[in-house]
Amino acid sequence: MSRILLVDDEANIRKMIGALLQSEGFEIIEAPDGSQALVRLNEDSPDAVLLDLMMPPGPDGLATLEAIKRRAPHVPVVMMSGKAGLADAVRATKLGAFQFLEKPLTPEGVLVALRGALELGRTLAENRRLHEQLGHADPLVGSSEAMATLRAMIARVAPTESRVLITGESGTGKELVASAIHRQSARHAKPFVTVNSAALPRDLVESEMFGHERGAFTGATERRQGRFELADTGTLFLDEVGDLGAEAQAKLLRVLETGVVERLGGERPLTVNVRVLAATNKDLARAVRQGQFREDLRFRLDVLPIHIAPLRERPDDVAPLVKHFAARVGARIGRTVAFDAGAVSLMAAYAWPGNVRELANIVERLAILATAEVITAADVARVLPQDGGAPPRPGGADEPWRDVSLTDTLDRAERELIARALSVSRGNVAEAARRLATDRANLYRRMRRLGIEPPRITSSNEG
């Protein structure tokens, strides 16, 4: 039985629509205003929402719709109003409404719209389930302040149509952020097309991006749609956009300015409606100064910037990420994968130059090679690189100064140094203390202060 959240400030309308839906086998949850609607959304997890536009004194239907799409972007919403203008309908659609019904309502109109919305919801849920099974739609896992800020930023930019530039080191999850923006946008039911700009051969960039007609060049034996055409009405994600060559940058700029693409060998231009999200691990401002990237293209792409902090700056995220990846690889290999507290602490202290991608690989390696039920710090120390994963030293002469916390920076450096010593010492604290030219008691004190739990090793000669 599908559960419907019915939101309208008029009790009579709630009563009439509720009776209609109940007679059709739906379970009804009622709310008289937007504030109560958000409470019921969290408590009752409806499958779809019927939402009135005008609900004085507020919040109105559009504000409520925006809040619903931030909290539960997968729940379809059908708007209702007797006083709506075209601008309201357009705004509701952009915010993610499935359909806009005009009052007075008809039973047939309500049921057709609602059943269509529920079908969309089921399709999206199945799509998410399949993607998660394939590992293509990992959630944004993490409990750090940086992750909370990232989620809040995604929720703010997703409902807009503005372009977004996602920056961060390799392996931080830029494609996951782009996918989250798409899923929380009004285009969530439309295509999400990805282009790895760094992987495109220079002589095929134009064909891949804009398509070609049969016979346009040697080897073009059939017509091919480009990525912009495939993403029409949806979202195009340009990964590693900083690696595009000068000619490709010029053509991309022209499409962004005009919304028109031309296939190679084509005789007529094609208008496309595409929201562009881009990502790079490069400093585009520096690339502009060095003449490697067009400044006008950078401004076109960097309307709403989102930066993803490297994993070494958010060690609080390591534990939930380890749990997430362990569950995923465990489901794949058919057995439970568990890490003890010492193993997780050692991983949290590591610098992770490859970021989340490297962490996922290490977890998978440990899970496959494990001979015991629980993976320990000694197991982790055997597979972590012995250089400690130390990141490049910051503060080059041409880099602008960024304010930092001296305490946090020193703690992070100390945590990484201890992790390196523990890694080289295979989890043996006494040996790590010797390598750090300190005594074991002092090392234990420093580990407690930094939140590094002593490794649990299955056999020890610490004496």
Tell me the average pLDDT across 392-410: 59
Instruction: Give the three-state DSSP class for 363.
Output: helix
Token output for 346: 């050692």
Q: What's the CATH number where 71 sits?
A: 3.40.50.2300
**Domain-located, residue 59:** yes
Q: Is the pLDDT of residue 161 over 50?
A: yes
Tell me the average pLDDT across 64-83: 86
| CA distance to 8, 49, 118, 152, 274, per residue, from 44 (Å) | 17, 12, 16, 23, 35
At 403 the pLDDT is: 66
At 404 the pLDDT is: 63
Per-residue pLDDT of 188-245, as tens digits, reads: 888 898 888 887 777 677 788 888 787 777 666 777 788 898 889 999 999 999 999 8
Domain boundary among 99, 132, 165: 132
**Beta strand 270-271 with 260-261: parallel, antiparallel or unpaired?**
antiparallel
Residues 161 and 267 in one domain: yes
Residues 273 and 180 in one domain: yes
CA distance 423 to 268: 62
**Domain-located, residue 458:** no
Q: Is the pLDDT of residue 396 over 50?
A: no
Give the CA radius of gyration of the chain: 27
Residues 322 and 402 in one domain: yes
Residues 370 and 303 in one domain: no
pLDDT class of 8 with cuts at 50, 70, 90: very high
| CA distance to 34, 87, 114, per residue, from 49 (Å) | 12, 21, 8
* Residue numbers of the domain that contains 259: 145-309
CB 167 within 8 A of CB 306: yes
At 135 the pLDDT is: 46
Residues 285 and 274 in one domain: yes
Q: Which residue has the higher pLDDT, 365 or 400?
A: 365
Residue type at 146? A
Domain boundary among 252, 278, 309: 309
**Domain-located, residue 138:** no
H/E run at residue 235: strand 235-239
Burial class (CB in 10 A: 0-12, 13-18, 19+), 152: exposed
CA proximity to 5, closest of 87, 59, 65: 65
CA distance 163 to 285: 17
**Domain-located, residue 462:** no
Residues 241 and 339 in one domain: no
**Domain-located, residue 457:** no
Residues 438 and 404 in one domain: yes
Per-residue pLDDT of 412-421, as tens digits, reads: 778 778 877 8
Alpha-helical (H) ranges within 24-163 are: 34-44, 61-71, 86-95, 107-134, 145-157
H/E run at residue 380: helix 377-383
Query: Which range in 18-32, 59-73, 110-124, 209-223 is most confidently predicted, on average pLDDT?
Result: 18-32
The half-sphere exposure of 53 on its side-chain side, counting CA atoms within 13 A, is 22
Mean pLDDT over the full length of the chain: 85
At 454 the pLDDT is: 65
Residues 301 and 318 in one domain: no
pLDDT class of 393 with cuts at 50, 70, 90: very low
Give the count of domains, the chain.
Answer: 3
Q: What's the CATH number where 211 sits?
A: 3.40.50.300
Q: Is the pLDDT of residue 282 over 60?
A: yes
Q: Is the pLDDT of residue 463 over 70?
A: no
**Domain-located, residue 139:** no
**Domain-located, residue 456:** no
Tell me the average pLDDT across 151-171: 94
Query: Which range in 174-178, 261-265, 412-416 is most confidently predicted, on average pLDDT?
Result: 174-178
Strand order in the sheet with 192-196: 192-196, 235-239, 275-280, 164-167, 304-307
CB 271 within 8 A of CB 230: no
At 205 the pLDDT is: 79
Residues 154 and 50 in one domain: no
Residues 172 and 277 in one domain: yes
Torsion of Cα atoms, 412 then 413 then 416 then 422, to 10°: -120
- Find the range with the poorest average confidence among 34-38, 302-306, 384-388: 384-388
pLDDT class of 462 with cuts at 50, 70, 90: very low
Angle between helices 355-369 and 318-333 (to 10 degrees): 50
Per-residue pLDDT of 327-386, as tens digits, reads: 989 988 888 999 988 889 889 888 899 999 999 999 999 999 888 889 988 888 888 876
Phi, psi of 244, rounded to the nearest 5 degrees: -70, 145
Residues 285 and 342 in one domain: no
Residues 304 and 336 in one domain: no
pLDDT class of 158 with cuts at 50, 70, 90: very high
Domain boundary among 243, 274, 309: 309
Q: What's the CATH number where 400 sits?
A: 1.10.8.60
At 429 the pLDDT is: 85
Whole-model pTM: value is 0.61
CA proximity to 355, closest of 169, 136, 149, 138: 169
**Domain-located, residue 140:** no
